[in-house]
Amino acid sequence: MGNFRLGMSPAGGFTLLETIVALTLVVSAIVGPFSLASRGVFGAKFSRSKLIALNLAQEGIEIVRAMRENNVLIGADWRGLTGPCASGCARLQDGSYQLDVYTSASGSTPPVSSGSALLFDESAGLYSQAAGSPTPFTRVLDISTPAPAQMRIVSTVRWTESNIPRQARVEVVLYNWQ
């Protein structure tokens, strides 16, 4: 009868079960790192967008802060919309506004009916409503007056990423420091 042992096949190959287990281990060893890498890319993209949005929200606050300080320094109304003006300055009334570095410098501050996308001017490195390539970001500044010497500003930047609506919000209260 030769050297044939019970339970061993004469060819000495793998069984179907052993092959399936081996393939499962190989596939999971390949898919795992790819899944982790794709999540890392998505996380990096989201982090980049969130950082841009938070900086745009803070920029909106800083635009209003600069307007307040310039008006105080020239002796105008601290809530004035425009640049230099003596008396009778237009005021930042309670409401929603879209301000950027260009509209605040020119003194035009259109109220917002709906948030339009910010544009990115690559040559200047600025986001604005004026010129540039479209971005997914919109910024709205909501201004209210909780007290006579206070101005509450909520700067909200919205964007959509991977079909998920997102937003970044910065809130501050400015005071009449005259």
Q: What pLDDT shows up at residue 82?
A: 45
Q: How far apart are CA 45 and CA 39, in angstroms?
A: 10
Q: 């540039």: which residue's tokens?
A: 132
Sign of CA dihedral 160, 172, 97, 74: negative
pLDDT in tens, the chain (178 residues): 455 555 555 556 678 888 898 888 888 888 888 787 777 777 888 999 999 999 999 999 998 888 888 777 777 777 765 444 455 454 567 788 887 777 665 555 555 545 678 889 888 888 888 788 999 999 999 988 888 888 899 999 999 998 999 999 999 998 887 6
Alpha helices per DSSP H over the chain: 16-73, 101-106
Helix then strand then coil, in percent of the chain rounded to 5, is 35, 30, 35
